[in-house]
């Protein structure tokens, strides 16, 4: 088999062959080589002004590195431009005239393995390096050396924070949550999942105000965080959505025996209302009650959250908040910390009355007889214009629980006094 050598002048490559037999004369000029019958016993040729670029099919041309491509362990290209720092890495080195038996060096560290694919590609595994930019060198099997001018970069990979992957939101309540992932460069966030009336900004703010969804549900969100080097990490989130309850029983089902201020939709209007779910204000009845009205100048903070949006205080006879207050000259409608009290002058009857504005079936009313009342008097509670409870003990303030028919006789509620007495009114809870 003949030896073949591709030799190159300063201007162009020229091919010559020697067959190893006979005699020949090899002559050279700057641009040409002639081979006669001269026997050439070695593949190495010394020719003035010429450089051998291929011997027996093995390129002797100058090796160059044109770049590298980050891949997965199967050497499928990834979109990231830097290798992950502090982990084992996989990538392809690309170039021209790459040699079999090459070894890739990153800085002063050899790759764990270098596989020759062809003269334009090497597949490389490792090494594990800290974040930074390193020289990228290929040492050929024939000891030729090529260095990539741009070097090779290692960058900290994207890491998600340890915050919970669950968020709780209520209907018609604005929310905003900051997702958190870190890297050694700016991180942006994206998802292909959609949630009604909810958006995810590129800076990781998940926000919205869901108003159109009638039923409670859980939404799932697959979020990818990507840094400036194209490194990425993904995380699942769930948005647990609760449609605003439309009844006391729904609030009870959601929150059990934990009393507090919760949202409820009343006739399409969402209100934040205090709910007694453990029976504190309703004689131990834990079936669930909504604060319809509270009275006084400074009830507990939670007692400011009523169906009417706040406590009711009156000092004169008038109609306000759908309540009509009545007293006479010498009488009083007085404000106190958590109740109001009233009487009628000249031994008449002072009262307060009201027609409810939302559907309800039961009421729990705390009222009673002030200790300053004259003996023999009373405080009375009327429901649907019928007396349902009469208090005659001075300083007694029971909670009356009873049924009410909002389509029945009016006034729906009346509290009054008899016999020159003074009544007190504390609060009304409803179901």
CB 44 within 8 A of CB 60: no
What's the average model confidence in pLDDT over 172-196? Answer: 95
Q: What pLDDT is recorded for position 21?
A: 34
Range of the domain at 49: 3-59
Does one domain contain both 84 and 192? no
Averaged pLDDT of the chain: 84
Last residue of a domain, one of 110, 139, 155: 155
Considering the domain boundaries, does residue 189 fall inside one? yes
Does one domain contain both 114 and 172? no
Last residue of a domain, one of 227, 242, 257: 242
Q: What pLDDT is recorded for position 415?
A: 95
CA distance 299 to 87: 62
Q: What pLDDT is recorded for position 377?
A: 87
CATH assignment at residue 125: 2.60.40.10
Q: What length does the chain have?
A: 431
pLDDT above 70 coverage of the chain, percent:
82
CA distance 305 to 262: 9
CA distance 57 to 80: 36
pLDDT tier at 328 (50, 70, 90 boundaries)? low
Does one domain contain both 173 and 144? no
Q: What pLDDT is recorded for position 419?
A: 81
The answer on pLDDT for 19 being more than 50 is no
Does one domain contain both 201 and 91? no
What is the per-residue pLDDT across 212-238, written as a single tens digit (0 to 9) for each? Answer: 888 889 999 999 999 999 999 999 999
Does one domain contain both 37 and 121? no
Does one domain contain both 77 and 22? no
Last residue of a domain, one of 59, 75, 94: 59
Does one domain contain both 226 and 348? no
Considering the domain boundaries, does residue 263 fall inside one? no
The answer on pLDDT for 335 being more than 90 is no
In this predicted model, which residue has the larger pLDDT, 4 or 175? 175
What's the average model confidence in pLDDT over 264-292? Answer: 93
- The pTM of the full predicted model, rounded to 2 decimals, is 0.52
Does one domain contain both 299 and 426? yes
CA distance 259 to 335: 26
How many CA atoms lie less than 13 Å away from 73 in the CB half-sphere?
Answer: 2
pLDDT tier at 83 (50, 70, 90 boundaries)? very high
Q: What pLDDT is recorded for position 28?
A: 38
What is the count of structural domains for the chain?
4
Q: Identify the sign of the CA torsion 28, 34, 38, 40.
A: positive
What's the average model confidence in pLDDT over 101-120? Answer: 97
Does one domain contain both 134 and 163? no
What is the per-residue pLDDT across 32-59, written as a single tens digit (0 to 9) for each? Answer: 344 443 333 333 344 443 444 554 455 5
pLDDT tier at 374 (50, 70, 90 boundaries)? confident
């Amino acid at each position: 088999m003949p030896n073949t050598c591709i030799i190159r002048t300063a201007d162009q490559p020229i091919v010559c062959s020697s067959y190893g037999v006979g005699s020949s004369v090899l002559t050279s000029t700057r641009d040409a080589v002639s081979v006669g019958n001269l026997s050439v016993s070695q593949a190495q040729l010394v020719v003035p002004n010429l450089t051998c670029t291929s011997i027996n099919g093995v390129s002797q041309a100058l090796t160059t590195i044109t770049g590298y491509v980050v891949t997965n362990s199967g050497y499928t290209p990834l979109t990231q431009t830097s290798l992950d720092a502090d982990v084992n890495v996989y990538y392809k080195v690309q170039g021209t005239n790459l040699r079999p038996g090459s070894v890739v060096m990153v800085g002063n560290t050899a790759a764990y393995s270098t596989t020759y694919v062809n003269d334009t590609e090497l597949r490389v595994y490792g090494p594990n390096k800290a974040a930074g930019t390193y020289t990228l060198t290929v040492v050929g099997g024939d000891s030729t050396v090529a260095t990539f001018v741009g070097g090779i970069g290692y960058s900290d990979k994207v890491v998600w924070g340890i915050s919970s992957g669950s968020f709780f939101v209520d209907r018609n309540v604005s929310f905003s949550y900051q997702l958190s992932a870190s890297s050694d460069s700016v991180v942006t966030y994206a998802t292909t999942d959609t949630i009604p009336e909810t958006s995810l900004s590129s800076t990781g703010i998940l926000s919205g105000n869901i108003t159109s969804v009638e039923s409670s549900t859980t939404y799932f969100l697959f979020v990818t965080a990507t840094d400036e080097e194209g490194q990425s990490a993904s995380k699942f989130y769930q948005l647990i959505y609760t449609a605003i309850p439309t009844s006391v029983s729904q609030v009870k089902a959601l929150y059990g025996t934990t009393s507090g201020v919760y949202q409820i939709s009343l006739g399409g209007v969402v209100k934040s209302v205090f709910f007694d779910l453990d029976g504190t204000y309703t004689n131990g009845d834990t079936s669930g009650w909504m604060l319809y009205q509270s009275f006084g100048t400074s009830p507990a903070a939670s007692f400011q959250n009523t169906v009417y949006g706040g406590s009711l205080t009156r000092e004169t006879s008038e109609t306000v908040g759908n309540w009509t207050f009545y007293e006479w000259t010498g009488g009083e409608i007085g404000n106190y910390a958590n109740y109001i009290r009233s009487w009628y002058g000249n031994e008449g009857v002072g009262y307060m009355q009201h027609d409810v504005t939302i559907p309800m079936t039961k009421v729990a009313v705390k009222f009673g007889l002030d200790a300053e009342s004259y003996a023999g008097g009373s405080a009375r509670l009327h429901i649907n214009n019928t007396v349902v409870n009469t208090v005659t003990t001075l300083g007694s303030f029971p909670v009356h629980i009873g049924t009410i028919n909002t389509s029945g006789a009016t006034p729906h509620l009346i509290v009054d006094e008899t016999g020159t007495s003074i009544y007190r009114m504390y609060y009304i809870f409803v179901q």
